[in-house]
Amino acid sequence: MSRYEIRLPYAWSDTLAAAFPEFDLVQIGPAETLVIGELHDQTELHALLARIADLGLEIAELRHDR
C-alpha cells in the first residue's frame, strides 16, 4: 500500500468529508484541505481521481509516499 496526500483548494466541510469517508481530511488553510489515505494500487488511485473529477473538484497538489 502507498500513502497519498491530495491537496484540494477548498475549505473542509461536512459535504467534502462525506465525499471521502475512507480518507482523513485535514484543513491546512482557510481554503485548503488535504485528503490523506492509503491506496493499494494504481486502480484505486485512478478511481479516486475519477471521483474527484466527477465531483467537479480541482486538485492543487498530489503527493505519493511509498
Rounded mean pLDDT of 1-17?
96
Q: So what's the pLDDT on residue 64?
A: 96
Q: In what side-by-side order are the strands of the sheet with 32-39?
A: 24-29, 32-39, 2-8, 61-65
Task: Using a pLDDT cut of 70, give the percent of the chain over it.
Answer: 100
CATH number for the domain including 61?
3.30.70
3-class DSSP state of 47 = helix
- Cross-strand partners of 24: 36
Domain count, the chain: 1
The domain in which residue 48 lies consists of 2-65
Q: What pTM value is reported for the model?
A: 0.92
